[in-house]
Amino acid sequence: MFCGDYQAQGTIFPAPNFNPIMDAQMLGGALQGFGCDKDMLISILTQRCNSQRLMITEAYQNMYGRDLIGDLKEKLSDHFKDVMVGLMYPPPSYDAHELWHAMKGVGTEENCLIDILASRTNGEIFQMREAYCLQYGSNLQEDIYSETSGHFRDTLMNLVQGSREEGYTDPAMAAQDAMVLWEACQRKTGEHKTMLQVILCNKSYQQLWLVFQEFQNISGQDIVDAINECYDGYFQELLVAIVLCVRDKPAYFAYRLHSAIHDFGFHNKTVIRILIARSEIDLMTIRKRYKERYGKSLFHDIKNFASGHYEKALLAICAGDAEDY
Sorted by sequence, the CB contacts under 8 Å of residue 155 that are 6+ apart come out as 197, 200, 201, 235, 238, 239
Question: Can you give the pLDDT at residue 321?
Answer: 56
Contact 144, 160 (CB under 8 A): yes
Q: SS3 helix, strand, coil % of the chain, rounded to 5?
A: 75, 0, 25
Phi, psi of 49 (to 5 degrees): -80, 170
Phi, psi of 105 (to 5 degrees): -80, -170
Question: Can you give the pLDDT at residue 2?
Answer: 44
> What's the CA gap between 147 and 164, in Å, rounded?
23
Walk me through the domains of the chain, giving residue ranges and CATH numbers.
20-87 (1.10.220.10), 91-161 (1.10.220.10), 171-247 (1.10.220.10), 249-306 (1.10.220.10)
Question: Can you give the pLDDT at residue 78?
Answer: 93
pTM of the model: 0.93
Contact 314, 275 (CB under 8 A): yes
> 253: part of which helix (H) or strand (E)?
helix 233-258
- Determine the Cα angle at 159 with ends 271 and 97, to 5°: 40
Taking only the tens of pLDDT, the chain with its 325 residues reads: 344 546 789 999 999 999 999 999 999 999 986 778 999 999 999 999 999 999 999 999 999 999 999 999 999 999 999 999 999 999 999 999 999 999 987 778 999 999 999 999 999 999 999 999 999 999 999 999 999 999 999 999 999 999 999 988 898 999 999 999 999 888 878 888 899 999 999 999 999 999 999 999 999 999 999 999 989 899 999 999 999 999 999 999 999 999 999 987 788 999 999 999 999 999 999 999 999 999 999 999 999 899 899 999 999 999 865 455 4
